Chain A
Amino acid sequence: MYQESENLLKIENLAVFRSDLPLFETIDFQLISGEALQISGTNGSGKTSLLRCLCGLSSRYSGSIYWNGKLISSNTHDIHKQILYLGHALGLKPRLTVNQNLSFYQQLRFDADQPNIHRALKALKIENYLDEQVANLSAGQKRRVALARIISEPVKLWILDEPMVALDTDGQAWLEEVCNQHLSKGGLIILTSHQPLKGIDNLTSLTLQPADLNAFYKRLGEQE
């Protein structure tokens, strides 16, 4: 499993852009081992774009993102491995079975460790679908398969985009419980959700304020 040492994600003066326009007012925050952050905001406020910047997938931001004191923009490859990101697109191959999908990703990061996958699927109550093609699963089941990766690939930082979507109450309760376990082991979690997440410990909340475009244009206008 992961080291017990403290990990730190630090964001300074971050603005995220979509076609040259800032999406939200600049934000600063830091997150240390054992802390979770819920990012909220209206539709189109840039939650997903922010998460993609934090993962190092997108470079459309200004400001600095540090992981353990290193800028992620210059150490993208190393930092990628310590992040598990689940977005709207789940990254599952519909043609392959649940087991093939999960063990492929697991193999890329770790040596094959089948019991983990089993354990994850069992906890999610989809262990019977191990050899079923992902294409034959329902939306909620696919989401559960993708979420099983947070068990089967133990990494420090989870970045989850709307993980509660398409999950039933059982699934949501399970997710909250797993998040708490992760935090107690010194993990970090950043997630977006439209619903309040009362079950997660140490959860701080950050609401993205839509950027004041008039002020942005004004600043541009004053630039000589």
Chain B
Amino acid sequence: MWTWFYQMASPKWFFQFTEKLLPWFKAITLILFVVGLALGLLFSSLDYQQGNTVRILYIHVPGAFLSMFGYVLMAISGGIGLIWRIKMAHIVSVSCAPIGAILTLLTLITGAVWGKPTWGTYWEWDARLTSYLILLFLYLGFMALHSAFDDRKAADRASAVLALVGLVNIPIIHFSVEWWNTLHQGATISKFEKPSMDPDMLAALLTMIAAYQFYFLTVLMQRIRSEILEREKMAGWVRKLVGNGQQ
């Protein structure tokens, strides 16, 4: 277990390990997206109230799920980097931020598009959308803080502190916003226990969540790899690698 942990913490090992993994992840992501979109957009049954507009759920809900997952991953790996001073953990943390921010933005946009036929307006200050707007601010703050430092080590550590503070705050923010306004329909995900959704809708949604999850991991891997190359550009193995690539 520990040897594995230390291997993972070595940028070089990670780079070489993911070299073999990446094509598989790309393939799985592609397959899951094709299957999930086909199930969701073509074959799943319609909601008796919302009609075809319900289909945006298959893009919106996984995005919402993964943007939250991304923040938690970012904060926890930042915390690991801060406490145990592991370079690799900071690389993971920093690489999470833009993906999470994009997914949050996607969630907001699809939420607004969904809102137009459902509520009659693009933007409703409802609890869920407002929480995600604040989540977007947290992501932007993290990225802005990281880029404000000249020194990478200070940037890594300071933004990890910010991510952890944000992690403590997310439940509080969510709870406050819930209290402040509860216009949104009940949580879709929490109904998994007693599915009020049709089984075919549920299958489509779960496939799409898996697709987003693999998409997230694939892009994260790619970002980590470029971050490693950037940071380790003076190391022998990177120079050898890049040199071979050019010749």
Cβ contacts A13-28/B at 8 Å (1 or 0 each) = 0000001100000000
Among listed A109-117, A196-204, A214-222, interface-contacting one: A214-222
Which one, B12, B150, B152, B237, contacts A20 given CB within 8 A?
B152
Q: Fill in one digit per residue for B228-245: 1 if any A CB lies within 8 Å of its CB, else 0.
A: 000000111101000000
Residues of A close to B150: CB separation below 8 A = 19
Whether a CB of chain B sits under 8 angstroms from the CB of A223 is yes
How far does the Cβ of B17 sit from chain A's closest Cβ, in whole Å? Answer: 15
Please report which residues of chain B, range 113-136, place their CB below 8 angstroms from some CB of chain A when the two chains form the complex. Answer: none
CB distance from A16 to the nearest CB of B (A): 13
Least CB distance from B65 to A in Å reads 37
User: Could you give, for residues 198-236 of chain B, a 1 whenever the CB lies within 8 Å of some chain A CB and a 0 otherwise?
Assistant: 000000000000000000000000000000000000111
> In the complex, how many residues of chain A place their beta carbon closer than 8 angstroms to a beta carbon of chain B?
9
Q: Is B193 an interface residue (CB 8 A)?
A: no
In the complex the two chains form, what is the Cα distance from A220 to B236 in whole Å? Answer: 6
A171-224 residues at the B interface, CB under 8 angstroms? 217, 220-224
Q: Is the CB of B236 within 8 A of A224?
A: yes
Contact of B234 among A19, A60, A217 (CB under 8 A): A217
- Give the distance in Å from the alpha carbon of A223 to the alpha carbon of B240 in the complex: 11
A221 engages B235 (CB within 8 Å): yes
Given B12, B151, B152, B234, which contacts A220 in the complex, CB threshold below 8 Å?
B234
Q: How large is the interface on B (under 10, 10 to 19, 20 to 34, 35 or more residues)?
A: 10 to 19
B234 touching A221 by the CB < 8 A rule? yes
Question: In the complex, what distance in Å separates the CA atom of A60 from the CA atom of B152?
Answer: 12
Interface hub of B234, B235, B239 (most chain A Cβ within 10 A):
B234
User: Which B residues between 134 and 155 are near A, CB-CB below 8 angstroms?
Assistant: 150-153
Contacts of A19 in B (CB 8 A): 150-153
20 A-B interface contacts by CB (under 8 A): A19-B150, A19-B151, A19-B152, A19-B153, A20-B152, A20-B153, A60-B153, A217-B234, A220-B234, A220-B235, A220-B236, A221-B234, A221-B235, A221-B236, A221-B239, A222-B236, A223-B235, A223-B237, A224-B236, A224-B237
Which residues of A97-153 are within 8 A (CB) of B? none
Cα–Cα, bound, A220→B153 (Å): 18
Per-position 1/0 for B144-180, Cβ under 8 A of A: 0000001111000000000000000000000000000
Q: List, in ascending order, chain A residues with CB within 8 A of B151's CB.
A: 19
Chain B residue numbers with a CB within 8 Å of A217 are 234
B150: nearest residue on chain A (CB-CB)? A19
Closest to A19 in B: B151
Q: What residue in chain A is nearest B233 (Cβ atoms)?
A: A220
Identify the closest chain B residue to A216 (Cβ): B234
Q: State in angstroms the CA–CA spacing of A217 and B236 once bound together.
A: 9
Give bound CA distance, A19 to B239, whole Å: 20
Bound-state Cα–Cα, A20 to B153, Å:
9
Q: In the complex, what's the smallest C-beta–C-beta distance from A143 to chain B, in angstroms?
A: 29
What are the 6 closest A-B residue pairs judged by CB atoms, nearest first? A221-B236, A220-B234, A19-B151, A220-B235, A223-B236, A222-B236
B82 vs chain A, min Cβ distance (A)? 13
Which A residues are in CB contact (< 8 Å) with B234?
A: 217, 220-221
B152 neighbours in A (Cβ, 8 Å): 19-20
A60-86 CB contacts (< 8 Å) to partner B: 60
* B236: A residues at CB distance < 8 A: 220-224
Point out the residues of chain A lying under 8 angstroms from B235, CB to CB.
220-221, 223
Q: How far is the CB of B228 from chain A (nearest CB, A)?
A: 14
* Complex Cα spacing A223 to B13, Å: 13
Q: Give CA–CA (A220, B152) in the complex, Å.
A: 18
A221 to B237, CA, bound (A): 7
Contacts of A60 in B (CB 8 A): 153
Measured CB to CB, the nearest residue on chain A to B232 is: A220
Q: How far is the CA of A217 from the CA of B150 in the complex (A)?
A: 21
Give chain B nearest CB distance to A194 CB in angstroms: 27
B149 CB to closest chain A CB (Å) equals: 10
* Given contact pairs A60-B153, A220-B236, a sample of 10 additional A-B residue pairs in the complex whose CB atoms are under 8 Å apart: A19-B150, A19-B151, A19-B153, A20-B152, A220-B235, A221-B234, A221-B235, A221-B239, A224-B12, A224-B236
> What's the nearest-Cβ distance from chain B to residue A152, in Å?
34
Within 8 A of A (CB), among B3-17: 12
How far apart are the CA atoms of A105 and B230 in the complex, in Å?
A: 45
Cα A224 to Cα B235 in complex, Å, equals 8
**Bound complex: CA A221 to CA B239 (Å):** 8
